[in-house]
A and B are shown apart, each in its own frame.
Chain A
Amino acid sequence: MTGDDRSTIGGDLPAARDDRPAMGDDDPTTRDDRSPTRDLRPDGGHSSVEEPGEDRSSTGTSAEDVLIEDEGGRELDRGPFQRWVDRSIEDPERVYRSMFYVATVFFLFTTLFPFYWLLMVALTPEGNQQDIILTPNGFNPGAFVEVFQVIPFHWYVFNSFVIAAASTAIVLVVASLAGYAFGRLDFPAKGPLMLLVLVISFFPPAAFFIPLNDLFNTSFVALEPITGDGTLYNTPGAMVLPLSAIFMPLAIFILTTFYAQIPDGLEDAARVEGTTRLGALFRVVVPLSAPGVATAGVLTFIAVYNEFFFSFLMTDGQVENWAPLLEGILGYQGQYEVMYHLMAASSIIGVIPVAILVIVAQEKIVSGLTAGGLKE
């Protein structure tokens, strides 16, 4: 409907315009630049066969032509805004298209501006942090070095990496076994057991915390050679165990969906070849579900790296006691001064690993989150 309307009103517009898809598919900027000159062609006598790109090539004559034509166009339409309104009334899709661009820019700005602003705060020398909006007050990239000198921030990051990697490894192995059972085997009480696993993810960590805190502060003789005093407090275990359990339901869920999709024939073939049951799982099903395993892995890693509650409460905050990233970032709030620029700089450094993961694995993140949500 829109195409027909436009060609009757606009006169002899090039036919190509009507074939244009209603939305998207095209680069926004070129289209917006193009349309005014194109519409002027009827009275300007330009050949309609001409490529739109050539209109804009800045040879002197064509630029003048455009200017003159523009004047002529304004006599009819009275200014670009009114022309835009006219055209919008003819073709409501235009309004939605511009709303779409406005929304896109708005969302980009709101999500990215805090990071930009954080960088500006980090770059501002200490003591000048007043009224930073778009530019830093001074320039002091040294904050990114100072961050590591004031406290051993790199060790906090290292601790976080160890905890996140260990949790991810445990979750992937344990959840693979469970995902295989839920996805490929039939057994009584399958539904209730799955529900039981999922219900865990709904409980607040606070409901688990008090007995766990007791448990991890209890001395076990068996643990003495490993942890010194026999307790799990101030060891990675005190964070890895609860975090693995809490983020496992999502991983089990993702892996169940992926493992269920592997054709039975492939596994049967491996079994006929003499592979053991577990061999079939780890040599056939898991490799064939590599995207699913990667999805579960990336999501678990990000979740553990980002976690606050157990990470905050299961160590005393000392870096040698496996305190993670968050204690490092909160550590710049000193006793006598608050080092705002270092807080900002360390926050930027702390975001970089997950930002890289998001850029590299965004498809996996999206598919994992939606699988977790949609099939529930």
Chain B
Amino acid sequence: MATDAGSMFDGEADQGSGGDRTGNVVVNWMENLSEAAYAYLLLLPTFLLLALIAFYPLLMTFVMSLRENRTRGAEPLGGFIGVENYVDILTGNARLAQQFLDVSVSASAPFVELGTPFLQQALFVTVAFAAISVFLETVIGFGQAYVLDKEFRGRRWVRVAIILPWAVPIVIQGMIFFLLFQPEVGFGSDLMQWLGVFGADPLADSQDAFIIILIADIWKSSAFMALLILAGLQSIDRNLYDVARVAGASPWQRFKRITLPLVLPALLVAMLFRTMDAMRVYGLIESTAGCTTVPSLTCLVVEAMFGGTRIYATAAAVAFATALVIGLMLLVYAVLFRDTEEGFA
């Protein structure tokens, strides 16, 4: 088996009748490598794959984003124009159906003016979605983690039930909430209209559809938060609670003084993961309300690519800007992490 594996990773040419002997040569060569060289050899397949799928495309995306859109002719990209595409998407001048960001500075009170409605600007949609969903998922995830932290009969099945939404394919998650809020089928819209929250056609209204997508995301992803928070909860020494109880601490004080500080590192990691994930939202939108109603950052990339306008350079600029926005979020968390001492490497 080792021989096979060796030949598999070190050269496809080793197949055939002479394969065994070549295999031995390869094995001998591997045996004589230093530890560091062997480690690099083992990492080679990983980095080849990542180079092909991640590093090279990322670099190419950046290069493409600096070129001109060319809508006629065989070649879709023109010459280098520097950061013009970025300027266009940040000032709301890109030839996109929905803008990345479209605000202008004004002289009077709030000093910024929205060029298009708030929920028709991809950056706001995505950041608002990430912030609200991660916040609510944290709260609900805490509740779920508390439930799962107790020992009770049937706990295993409660845990299955709580994890289940997390394991549902995105398209099915979207389908469930599409059907629930589709006025012809589901009662969700009737209920929300009765509560006075939704308008006449929720799936076509930016604000209503945004809420539907939030609900769908919270339904699916709270479990992920719950599991990571639960792991944090279970690593807490139970004696601390006994001591606090003897000292007369109320449950709220126990939560604030013991649970929260000790869970915080795990909580921050969970929130970080969820934020990164929420910033990429696309499939859920595509399978419920559609990208024109609720344009997220990824929606814009797909729209620019396949919208028939051939603005590939703009698509690349939006894609790379999306990566930058996520990178910025990462920095925010990195600063938070530094304060908590533990965690991040």
Bound complex: CA A312 to CA B291 (Å): 14
A111 touches B165 (CB 8 A): yes
* A249 nearest in chain B by CB position: B50
Chain B residues whose C-beta falls within 8 Å of the C-beta of A357 in the assembled complex: 167
The stretch from A12-20, A144-152, A342-350 touching chain B is A342-350
Q: What string of 1s and 0s marks CB contacts (under 8 Å) between A213-227 and chain B?
A: 101000000000000
A248: which of B46, B156, B270 is its contact (CB, 8 Å)? B46
Least distance between A205 CB and chain B CB atoms (Å) = 7
B343 touches A246 (CB 8 A): no
Least distance between A362 CB and chain B CB atoms (Å) = 6
Given A108-B161, A210-B301, is A187 in contact with B40 using a C-beta cutoff of 8 Å? Answer: yes
Given A204-B297, A245-B50, A277-B31, is A373 in contact with B273 using a C-beta cutoff of 8 Å? Answer: yes
B286 touches A279 (CB 8 A): no
Contact of A366 with B by CB under 8 A: yes
Given A103-B146, A282-B2, A330-B287, is A132 in contact with B187 using a C-beta cutoff of 8 Å? Answer: yes
Within 8 A of B (CB), among A323-345: 325-326, 329-330, 340, 343-344
Bound complex: CA A104 to CA B164 (Å): 15
A24 touches B151 (CB 8 A): yes
Bound complex: CA A355 to CA B227 (Å): 17
Interface residues of chain A: helix, strand, loop or mixed (majority): helix
* A354 nearest in chain B by CB position: B167
A132 touches B185 (CB 8 A): yes
B159 touches A362 (CB 8 A): yes
Within 8 A of A (CB), among B296-345: 297-298, 301-302, 305-306, 312, 315-316, 318-320, 322-323, 326-327, 330, 343-345
Contact of A206 with B by CB under 8 A: yes
B1: which of A103, A173, A282 is its contact (CB, 8 Å)? A282
Tally of A-B residue pairs with Cβ under 8 A? Answer: 306
Bound complex: CA A276 to CA B304 (Å): 52
Least distance between A164 CB and chain B CB atoms (Å) = 10
Bound complex: CA A100 to CA B282 (Å): 35
Given A107-B147, A210-B319, A351-B172, is A129 in contact with B184 using a C-beta cutoff of 8 Å? Answer: yes
The stretch from A32-40, A55-63, A81-89, A113-121 touching chain B is A113-121
Least distance between A229 CB and chain B CB atoms (Å) = 18
A178 touches B219 (CB 8 A): no
Bound complex: CA A235 to CA B13 (Å): 25
Counting chain B CB atoms within 10 Å of each CB, the highest count among A107, A279, A350 belongs to: A107
Least distance between B265 CB and chain A CB atoms (Å) = 8
Within 8 A of B (CB), among A98-140: 100, 103-104, 107-108, 110-112, 114-115, 117-118, 121, 129-133
Bound complex: CA A278 to CA B219 (Å): 44
Bound complex: CA A245 to CA B54 (Å): 8
Least distance between A15 CB and chain B CB atoms (Å) = 22
Given A187-B35, A282-B1, A350-B172, is A118 in contact with B179 using a C-beta cutoff of 8 Å? Answer: yes
The stretch from A3-11, A194-202, A289-297 touching chain B is A194-202
Bound complex: CA A173 to CA B161 (Å): 32
Chain B residues whose C-beta falls within 8 Å of the C-beta of A245 in the assembled complex: 49-50, 52-54
Contact of A242 with B by CB under 8 A: yes
The stretch from A44-52, A66-74, A260-268, A302-310 touching chain B is A302-310
The stretch from B58-66, B84-92, B106-114 touching chain A is B58-66
Chain B residues whose C-beta falls within 8 Å of the C-beta of A210 in the assembled complex: 57, 60-61, 64, 301, 305, 312, 315-316, 319
B269 touches A373 (CB 8 A): yes
Q: What string of 1s and 0s marks CB contacts (under 8 Å) between A177-191 and chain B?
A: 110110001111011
Given A204-B279, A204-B323, A373-B228, is A130 in contact with B169 using a C-beta cutoff of 8 Å? Answer: no
B167 touches A306 (CB 8 A): yes
A206 touches B301 (CB 8 A): yes
Given A107-B144, A131-B187, A276-B30, is A374 in contact with B231 using a C-beta cutoff of 8 Å? Answer: yes
* A306 nearest in chain B by CB position: B169
Given A110-B219, A118-B179, A208-B54, is A278 in contact with B2 using a C-beta cutoff of 8 Å? Answer: yes
Given A205-B280, A308-B170, is A366 in contact with B227 using a C-beta cutoff of 8 Å? Answer: yes
How many chain B residues touch A (Cβ–Cβ < 8 Å)?
Answer: 106
Bound complex: CA A194 to CA B298 (Å): 27
Chain B residues whose C-beta falls within 8 Å of the C-beta of A132 in the assembled complex: 185-187
A206 touches B322 (CB 8 A): yes
A202 touches B326 (CB 8 A): yes
Given A118-B179, A210-B57, is A306 in contact with B185 using a C-beta cutoff of 8 Å? Answer: no
Contact of B80 with A by CB under 8 A: no
A130 touches B184 (CB 8 A): yes
Bound complex: CA A75 to CA B330 (Å): 64
Chain A residues whose C-beta falls within 8 Å of the C-beta of B131 in the assembled complex: none
* B235 nearest in chain A by CB position: A374
Least distance between A36 CB and chain B CB atoms (Å) = 21
Contact of A169 with B by CB under 8 A: no
Chain B residues whose C-beta falls within 8 Å of the C-beta of A131 in the assembled complex: 187
B1 touches A177 (CB 8 A): no
Within 8 A of A (CB), among B248-276: 251, 266, 269-270, 273, 276
* B171 nearest in chain A by CB position: A326
Instruction: Write 18 A-B pairs (CB below 8 A) sorted by A numbering.
Output: A27-B153, A100-B146, A111-B164, A129-B185, A130-B184, A131-B187, A178-B45, A185-B35, A185-B42, A188-B36, A210-B61, A276-B3, A276-B30, A279-B2, A330-B287, A340-B184, A359-B160, A376-B269
Top 3 A-B pairs, shortest CB-CB distance: A308-B283, A245-B53, A279-B2
Q: Which residues of A are interface residues toward B (Cβ below 8 A)?
A: 1, 23-28, 92, 96, 100, 103-104, 107-108, 110-112, 114-115, 117-118, 121, 129-133, 173-175, 177-178, 180-181, 185-188, 190-191, 193-195, 197, 200-213, 215, 241-242, 244-246, 248, 252, 275-279, 282-283, 302, 305-309, 312-313, 325-326, 329-330, 340, 343-344, 347, 350-351, 354-355, 357-359, 362, 365-366, 369-370, 373-374, 376
Given contact pairs A200-B54, A207-B323, A305-B169, enumerate 19 new A-B contacts (beta carbons under 8 Å): A111-B164, A121-B179, A129-B184, A187-B35, A200-B50, A202-B276, A204-B279, A206-B298, A210-B57, A246-B54, A277-B30, A283-B1, A340-B182, A358-B164, A362-B159, A366-B227, A373-B273, A374-B231, A376-B343
